[in-house]
Amino acid sequence: MGSANQQDSEEAQGADSAYLEKQKVIQRMEAGAECKGVRIAGLSKVYSQYPFGIKGKKDVHAVRGVFLEVEEGELLGLLGHNGAGKTTLIGMLTGILKPSGGQANLGGKDLENEIDEVRQIIGVCPQFDILWKELTAGEHLYLFARIRNIPKHRIEDLIREKLAEVNLSDVRASQVLTFSGGMKRRLSMAICTIGDPKIIFLDEPTTGMDPKSRREVWDLIEVIFSQLRSTVVKTNIFKKETED
Ligand SMILES: Nc1ncnc2c1ncn2[C@@H]1O[C@H](COP(=O)(O)OP(=O)(O)OP(=O)(O)O)[C@@H](O)[C@H]1O
Ligand SMILES: [Mg+2]
């Protein structure tokens, strides 16, 4: 923890850089500049207490007008404390949550009007693993390969490749219910890279992990970043880790 003064100056710097980023995004949009990575322009989300836009005292302003541009092939670490709105922002960018305002572009596709195209080019590793405990690692990869429309004759090679990448080849036939937290996370990471998505979102990929698993996931992120050349947006609650 830094001193109060240090924290104040860090916050001021944060506010400044947010302002500068906003100006940059607006200028680039006005100039008609293309963004092949992720462009977020004023995205906001209010979880409303009441329907039909009726305001309530318990409305939660989870995301307030975020402006951000992530260039193609860039890895961005998004830092925020618990409840800062990280998952909400990723939810909007992946078409799970409807924004209350603003717009975004992913790989040059408009989030609102081209959501089907957006879904084709993104991969998501959610904060909490969405896996079926009765299915094996191999079955998960098969299922998601089919969902991703990978040609059937390519799937077996792909499964082997992915399992090797995340060091799960030996447990291909084991049900997920026998997996540790780190193993489940690695499987989720493998799943989100199926189909070589241009843009990958990783929501707190290492939170709650022991140092060894954390190191393994960092190494995986490095692989995704350098080999797939995807644009990667990852969130984290720890400042130290995000900077690493
Ligand atoms: N479905 C919902 N309905 C109402 N409020 C919600 C809902 N989902 C999230 N919130 C609130 O919105 C705010 C942002 O939540 P969000 O989960 O996006 O934050 P986060 O940065 O991902 O937090 P964490 O680090 O705990 O995962 C919080 O105040 C949360 O309580
Ligand atoms: Mg979250």
For residue range 69-123, list pLDDT tens digits in order. 999 999 999 999 999 999 999 999 999 999 999 999 999 999 999 999 999 999 9
Domain assignment of residue 196, yes or no: yes
131: CATH: 3.40.50.300
Per cent of the chain over pLDDT 90 is: 70
Please name the residue whose Cα sits nearest to atom 17 of ligand 1. 87
Q: How many domains does the chain have?
A: 1
- Give the range of the structural domain holding residue 79, as residue numbers without chain letter: 71-96+119-243
Ligand 1 is surrounded, with C-beta below 6 A, by: 47, 60, 62, 80, 82-88, 127, 237
Average pLDDT for the chain = 89
CB within 8 Å of 232: residues ≥ 6 apart = 74, 75, 76, 199, 200, 201, 202, 221, 224, 225
Mean pLDDT, residues 136-149? 96
Interval 209-222: pLDDT, tens: 788 888 888 888 88
Mean pLDDT, residues 57-61? 94
Domain assignment of residue 85, yes or no: yes
Would you state the torsion angle of the CA atoms of residues 98, 231, 201, 213, taken in this order, to the nearest 10 degrees? -170
DSSP state, residue 165: H
Cβ-count burial of 175 within 10 angstroms (0-12 exposed, 13-18 middle, 19+ buried)? middle
Please name the residue whose Cα sits nearest to atom 25 of ligand 1. 82
Measured from the Cα of 89, ligand 1's closest atom is 18
- Which helix (H) or strand (E) covers residue 143, if one does? helix 137-147
**Is the Cβ–Cβ distance between 39 and 104 less than 8 Å?**
yes
Domain assignment of residue 41, yes or no: no
Domain assignment of residue 239, yes or no: yes
Domain assignment of residue 154, yes or no: yes
Distance 174 CA to ligand 2 centre (A): 29
Q: Can you spell out the DSSP letters for 105-126?
A: EETTEETTT-HHHHHHHEEEE-
Domain assignment of residue 164, yes or no: yes
pTM, to two decimals: 0.89
**Phi, psi torsion values for 196, nearest 5 degrees:** 45, 60
